[in-house]
């Protein structure tokens, strides 16, 4: 999903920018997984929905065999948030995002975002998390564009199926390649924290692994990527 910026406006900004800075969200800018935090917070206010998590067991079994993150994500969203109205979830997003911004972000990530903005770089937030709240986070942090995983609605009620690609792994690499095409000539700096991010980090002019696990750090160094620890 591309949020906030028409392609023509993006091209116009890109022509004047110094570079393109592409940030992952969960574990890179935030301290914890945002989808779990979003759903858990909603269930805390609607405790009867917790029993619906049992419906994710078939997806967990499928995940053990096929490692399909999109299928598991959709099952989790349908169990915890499915059927709720757009108005309800918009209201919850309005509570969740300010609290996340206040307590859940890495200060070193915020400093790096500010540094890129100061040097005139175009900021892009690219996350496998979902469009219930990621665009609001991107907007609050001053990102020019937000790319994230879209969800299906049934009228005014959330279905929870994925409406497009799960922006993870190879999908992030394809998205980065597309960004290069829309911002020709700009040097790309990309930040991510997981093994699944290594593919798109390698496509950047400067790829930076943030707070990776030991095996991921070793792999990143072997690929010539920077490895950093952010607080």
CATH number at residue 222: 3.40.50.1000
Regions in the chain scoring below 50 on pLDDT = 1-15
Three-state SS for 36?
helix
The pLDDT assigned to 8 comes to 35
User: What is the domain extent for residue 118?
Assistant: 2-228
The answer to whether the beta carbons of residues 225 and 209 sit under 8 Å apart is yes
The closest of 135, 141, 120 to 189, measured between CA atoms, is 120
The answer to whether the beta carbons of residues 132 and 149 sit under 8 Å apart is no
Q: How far apart are CA 216 and CA 114, in angstroms?
A: 26
The answer to whether the beta carbons of residues 59 and 76 sit under 8 Å apart is yes
- Decide the pairing of beta strands 206-210 and 226-228: parallel
The pLDDT assigned to 59 comes to 65
122-130, strands of its sheet edge to edge = 2-3, 145-149, 122-130, 19-23, 187-192, 206-210, 226-228
CA 77 to chain centre: 15
Q: How far apart are CA 126 and CA 86, in angstroms?
A: 23
- Decide the pairing of beta strands 157-162 and 187-192: unpaired
Q: How far apart are CA 67 and CA 101, in angstroms?
A: 31
Domain count, the chain: 1
Q: Which residues pair with 130 in a beta bridge?
A: 149
Q: Is the full-model pTM beyond 0.75?
A: yes
Tokens of 58: 């078939």
The pLDDT assigned to 58 comes to 78
Q: Which residues pair with 3 in a beta bridge?
A: 146
pLDDT tens figures, 26-42:
999 999 999 999 999 99
Tokens of 68: 């399909």
The answer to whether the beta carbons of residues 202 and 220 sit under 8 Å apart is no
């Amino acid at each position: 999903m591309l949020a906030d910026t028409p392609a023509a406006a993006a091209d116009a900004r890109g022509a004047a920018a110094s570079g393109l800075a592409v940030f992952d969200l969960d574990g890179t800018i935030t301290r914890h997984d945002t989808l779990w935090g979003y759903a858990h917070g909603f269930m805390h206010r609607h405790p009867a929905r917790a029993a619906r998590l049992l419906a994710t067991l078939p997806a967990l079994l499928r995940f053990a065999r096929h490692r399909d993150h999109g299928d598991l994500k959709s099952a989790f969203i349908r169990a915890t948030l499915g059927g709720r109205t757009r108005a309800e979830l918009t209201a919850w997003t309005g509570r969740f995002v300010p609290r996340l911004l206040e307590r859940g972000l890495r200060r070193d990530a915020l400093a790096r975002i500010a540094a890129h903005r100061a040097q005139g770089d175009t900021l892009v937030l690219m996350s496998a998390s979902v469009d219930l709240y990621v665009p609001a986070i991107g907007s609050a942090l001053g990102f020019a564009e937000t790319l994230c995983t879209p969800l299906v609605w049934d009228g005014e009620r959330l279905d929870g199926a994925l409406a497009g690609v799960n922006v993870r792994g190879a999908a992030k690499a394809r998205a980065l390649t597309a960004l290069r095409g829309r911002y020709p000539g700009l040097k790309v700096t990309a930040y991510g924290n997981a093994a699944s991010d290594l593919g798109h980090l390698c496509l950047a002019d400067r790829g930076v692994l943030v707070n990776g696990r030991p095996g991921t750090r070793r792999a990143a160094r072997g690929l010539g990527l920077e490895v950093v620890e952010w607080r």
